[in-house]
Amino acid sequence: MNINNVLKEYFGYDSFRRGQEELIQGVIDGNDVLGIMPTSGGKSLCYQIPSLVTKGTTLVISPLISLMKDQVDALTEVGISATYINSTLTSLQLNERLQNIKEDKYELIYIAPERLNHQGFINLIKNIDIPFIAIDESHCISKWGHDFRPSYREIPKFISNLETRPVIGAYTATATEEIIEDIKDLLNLQEPKEVITGFDRENLFFKVENNIDKRSFILNYIKKRNDESGIIYCSTRKEVESLGSFLNDKRYHASIYHGGMNKEDREKAQHSFIYDESPIMVATNAFGMGIDKSNVRYVIHYNIPQSMEAYYQEAGRAGRDGEDSECILLFSPQDVVKQKFLIGESHVNPERASIAYKNLQYLVDYCYSHDCLRGKILEYFGEVDVIDKCDNCSNCTIERELKDVTIEAQKILSCVYRMNEKFGTTVVAQVLNGSKNKKVLNFNLDNLSTYGLMDNYTEKDIKNIIAMLISQGYLSLTESKFPVVRLTPTSKKVLKGNEKVYMAVDIFKENTSSSDNYYKDLFEELKSLRRNLALEKNIPPYVIFPDTSLKEMASILPSNKEHFLNIKGVGDKKYQTYGVIFMDLINRYIDENDAKPISELASSITKKSIEPKVKTHIASYNLYKEGNSIEEIAKIRDVKKDTILTHFVKCEEEGLSINWDSVVQADVEKQVLEAMDEVGSEFLKPIKEILPANISYYDIKCVIYKKNYAK
């Protein structure tokens, strides 16, 4: 069976997303695979499609109970036989499914990792043909990850006890280089086909709000988005209940969810949110793992999480359908104190605690950074091509006024030096402010020459400048529960007056990106129809059609089978089940409103309202076609050469050709290719280390991209 035909017939898509086809073909060819793809990148298809074209039963190991049900519901909807085995089943349901497994009735079986310890299940599995085992959320096997699960360590033992070793596929959305190596080693992947499509979610707008009235911000925000689904994450159960009650008192329908609630209340809250009955979910991080709701338009973090991995995973629950969505972190220094306390309580192992403090500090630096927020995220995950201006985060859509704080920085650095680098940010700020705090006096810090040197600033303002200096690398913090401020090599440059320090005063612009070229009233009617059908079938609405499909229907107005099958996400199976029902509604709307497809109305709509903003990589490509070099384009656009290089790669992937001979110097190419032959091309650092100093990482990347994309 042709995998492209399977993609269209069962899932309704005309082409694969980046990386999907390689991973699917790798499994079909009998190779282990490792797929690192961002949330909404289409990981599930990478193991669902192989199950349809290989003989036997595919086993999917996942810790996400909610995801199991959603995916099985979705597969069943399009005629694929699948089931799940987890702790939510009654004894009767479990026995029935085990019998069906014995009779070889399923193409896919989803199981929780804990099930691998059940001898009865092990004996049952030994008697069926399992060509392929997919391990979802595979980062859970690494103790260095933010979501380590001991039960995942049982997976290699389970696989080794099978009579015939199946093909193994490992998939995850968030993993640093260290965790990726852990996954390969611990799962004993055999020369896996690795596909890392990158961690960027281009449809997400990232924003940080510092030191604001959080409740006022949330009220103003949701007032404009009352009909949109959103998640608000809080760090404690108490805050969840308090904020949830506050919003409901203000007549906003908000569900709450945390680990201290009983099972029935949690399920009720989750059902209400998934079925679009309550648009807002206020929750701790206990909510969201495996929730496949595609139309979450915003995720707000009321408190800072413990790591960038946790933040990106939770923020990534917005915009799974590819539509523009927002991820906002409401930051206050007090939240950091709270998270350090929680780290100290939960990590007995000093090594684990040290890593947790370090991860938290990176996220704190993210909140104080004036650099591109998307770039900071991608840098954390080890992306080679780090973005320095994305035009889709609060720091890149900013009206920035730079204030020279060199004098203030020199005072702070000098104070840290005179305190012998033995104290934290609070004490440093208190000394500079001239505080009479007991600790300051007990250590005789009031005798220092820097005592009271910034008494015209509040302690809070001084701490904000210190945090900025840390995020910019002028100071560092030790990785401990009570971190100590230390000078860095760059501190000397500032102290000697050889480098100026600037602090930005930011004025945010509203994110006004929109793709609302559809009939909104028809879209609402289609949503209502979808919801009623979902309630009848007891499945989430997005399992029937995602919002993106409904918006396309409300734009194109498909009135026959051919047009309906052209809607993204509509395959033969979906058309057979829902085509007539949805087209009846669309045709009625056309008759009642004399409506025409939006494309036919383009002439009566201003060009500005129907044309999307030129994407940043296309802007670079247009300058390239005008005869500008990478260096000239970078100068015109005020970005790094590396950024333009990534724009060129995106252009190649979209079919816009680049003359790579004009990018790569012949003598440099020869040396780099020789180095790659010697040490491989998987990592850049080994290549750089054996090359002459005049050949940069940028040069190496130019050669690699030419090798990959030159015709």
The sign of the CA dihedral 238, 244, 249, 255 is negative
Which of the 8 DSSP states describes residue 405?
Answer: -
* CA 689 to mean position of chain CA atoms: 32
The sign of the CA dihedral 256, 257, 261, 265 is positive
Question: Is residue 34 domain-shared with residue 93, that is, in the same domain?
Answer: yes
> Is 619 within the bounds of a domain?
no
pTM over 0.85: no
What is the predicted pLDDT for the residue at 168? 96
Question: Is residue 189 domain-shared with residue 107, that is, in the same domain?
Answer: yes
**Segment 362-372 mean pLDDT:** 87
**Segment 281-301 mean pLDDT:** 86
> Is 627 within the bounds of a domain?
no
The sign of the CA dihedral 263, 268, 270, 274 is positive
Please report which confidence band the pLDDT of residue 517 belongs to, taking 50, 70 and 90 as the band edges: confident
The more confidently predicted of residues 280 and 524 is: 280
Domain count of the chain? 4
Neighbours of 586 (CB within 10 A): 22
589 vs 142, 455, 593, CA distance in Å? 53, 68, 6
**C-alpha span between 267 and 354 (Å, rounded):** 36
Q: Where are the beta strands (DSSP E) in 435-551?
A: 475-477, 485-487, 502-508
Contacts of 254 (CB under 8 A, 6+ apart): 232, 244, 247, 248, 278, 280, 281, 282
Which of the 8 DSSP states describes residue 496?
Answer: T
pLDDT tens for each residue of 418-439: 999 999 999 999 999 999 988 8
Last residue of a domain, one of 363, 387, 411: 387
Phi and psi torsions of 589, nearest 5°: -65, -40
pLDDT tens for each residue of 158-201: 998 888 899 999 998 877 788 889 999 999 999 999 988 878 88
Question: Is residue 272 domain-shared with residue 367, that is, in the same domain?
Answer: yes
User: Could you list the residue range(s) of the whole structural domain that residue 600 is in?
Assistant: 520-607
> Is 702 within the bounds of a domain?
no
What is the predicted pLDDT for the residue at 642? 77
Q: Terminus-to-terminus CA distance in the chain, angstroms?
A: 30
Most confident of 421-425, 499-503, 653-657: 421-425
Question: Is residue 231 domain-shared with residue 169, that is, in the same domain?
Answer: no
Q: Does residue 624 surpass a pLDDT of 80?
A: yes
119 vs 124, 153, 336, 473, 568, CA distance in Å? 9, 17, 45, 54, 44
Across the chain, mean pLDDT equals 85
Q: What is the CATH number of the domain that holds 575?
A: 1.10.150.80
Question: Is residue 74 domain-shared with residue 145, that is, in the same domain?
Answer: yes
Question: Is residue 546 domain-shared with residue 486, that is, in the same domain?
Answer: no
Q: Does residue 45 surpass a pLDDT of 90?
A: yes
Question: Is residue 270 domain-shared with residue 360, that is, in the same domain?
Answer: yes
| Residue 440 in tokens | 């300051």
489 vs 415, 474, 476, 492, 502, CA distance in Å? 16, 8, 10, 6, 18
Most confident of 359-373, 414-428, 578-592: 414-428
> Is 638 within the bounds of a domain?
no
Q: Does residue 229 surpass a pLDDT of 90?
A: yes
**Amino acid identity, residue 138?**
S
564 in Cβ contact with 532 (< 8 Å): no
**Segment 657-664 mean pLDDT:** 88
Contacts 24+ apart (CB under 8 A), 268-277: 270/66, 273/229, 274/540, 274/541, 275/531, 275/534, 275/535, 275/540, 275/541, 276/229, 276/527, 276/531, 276/541, 277/253
**Amino acid identity, residue 194?**
E
> Is 624 within the bounds of a domain?
no
**How much of the chain is in helix, strand and coil states, percent to nearest 5?**
50, 10, 40
**C-alpha span between 374 and 366 (Å, rounded):** 10
What is the predicted pLDDT for the residue at 478? 81
Q: What is the CATH number of the domain that holds 489?
A: 1.10.10.10
Question: Is residue 301 domain-shared with residue 152, that is, in the same domain?
Answer: no
Strand partners, 34: 170, 194
405 in Cβ contact with 501 (< 8 Å): yes
Last residue of a domain, one of 387, 417, 447: 387
226 vs 216, 550, 575, 584, CA distance in Å? 15, 19, 32, 29
> Is 589 within the bounds of a domain?
yes
Question: Is residue 111 domain-shared with residue 167, that is, in the same domain?
Answer: yes
> Is 247 within the bounds of a domain?
yes
Question: Is residue 179 domain-shared with residue 210, that is, in the same domain?
Answer: no
Last residue of a domain, one of 169, 196, 223: 196
Give the sheet arrangement for strand 204-210, strand by strand: 204-210, 325-331, 296-301, 229-233, 280-283, 254-257
> Is 634 within the bounds of a domain?
no
* CA 502 to mean position of chain CA atoms: 30
Which of the 8 DSSP states describes residue 15?
Answer: S
**C-alpha span between 44 and 64 (Å, rounded):** 13
Q: What is the CATH number of the domain that holds 116?
A: 3.40.50.300
Q: Does residue 347 surpass a pLDDT of 70?
A: no
Phi-psi region of 155 (alpha: psi -120 to 50; beta: other; left: phi over 0): alpha
Lowest-confidence range among 13-22, 272-281, 531-540? Answer: 531-540
**C-alpha span between 244 and 615 (Å, rounded):** 38
Question: Is residue 500 domain-shared with residue 537, that is, in the same domain?
Answer: no
Question: Is residue 243 domain-shared with residue 306, that is, in the same domain?
Answer: yes
